[in-house]
Amino acid sequence: MATPIVDVRNLCKYYEHGESSTVALDGVTLQIEAGDFVAVAGPSGSGKSTFMHIIGLLDEPSSGQYFLEGQDVSSLSDDARADIRSRRLGFVFQSYNLLARTSALENVELPMLYAGIGSAERHRQALEELRVVGVEDVASHSSNQMSGGQQQRVAIARSLVNNPALVLADEPTGALDTKSSKEIMQIFTRLNEERGVTILVVTHEPSVAAYAKRVITFRDGRVIADGSHAKTEDLETVGL
């Protein structure tokens, strides 16, 4: 069996507030295989965001182990984590996070800039990815000239340019209307099916989770359900 993309064992995260401490993750053990499309569901405060931050190397676990593509990344230096984020991970955020007054094309080029890729190659690849998500016609527009749906597509293109092992999407449809949400989720589905991109979507909306092949449900820092197909009953039992 091939090395899983994500392999976490007994992952814990505590937040200290003086005397007391909050448990955000309480012993999470799971694996995500290459080519999977996973939805992480759960109410707010369930630990799903913390889980995504740790998987995305934006945060460190308090204890437990994390192997990304077989490499132990549980306790790397800040610079080493930045380098892995640059080359192996892609991020899509709820609020798009495009740079203001910067063209879509330059936004998509940004991760390649930090990965040290040359100007011509950056340009070519950024245009290519904009074409994949269907917004090549707004390449020269800046974020205030684009609709929310267009901005999120540019953000997806940005997450793809370095051919990451894993794309992490944090509530990617949270700020979008139903139609745009649907289009965004269809793009993720297509990328997963046609290009084999491994995707992890954090969401609290069952309609979004329904696009995934596998749904992991969090509550109080633990995985309470992990099914290859989202079952409405599962979600209902956790109060969604």
17 phi, psi to nearest 5 deg: -125, 80
Contact region for another protein (CB under 8 A) — 25-33, 112-120, 195-203, 209-217?
112-120
Residue 113 binds another protein, judged by CB under 8 A: yes
Residue 74 binds another protein, judged by CB under 8 A: no
Is 86 in contact with 111 (CB distance < 8 Å)? Answer: yes
By CB under 8 A, how many residues form the interface with another protein?
A: 27
Q: 18 or 118: whose CB is closer to another protein?
A: 118
Q: Could you tell me which of 225, 217, 202, 234 has the C-alpha nearest to residue 42?
A: 217
Host H or E run for residue 224: strand 222-227
Q: 5 or 84: whose CB is closer to another protein?
A: 84
Please give the C-alpha separations between residue 74 and each of 71, 80, 150, 184, 225, in angstroms, as whole numbers: 9, 11, 35, 32, 24
Residue 134 binds another protein, judged by CB under 8 A: no
Residue 82 Cβ, how far from another protein at the closest point, in Å? Answer: 4
Q: 162 or 181: whose CB is closer to another protein?
A: 162
**Both tokens assigned to 2:** 């091939």
Q: Strand pairing partners for 227?
A: 215
Residues at the interface with another protein (CB under 8 A): 53, 56, 58-59, 78-79, 82-83, 85-87, 91, 93, 95, 97, 99-102, 106, 110-111, 113-115, 158, 162
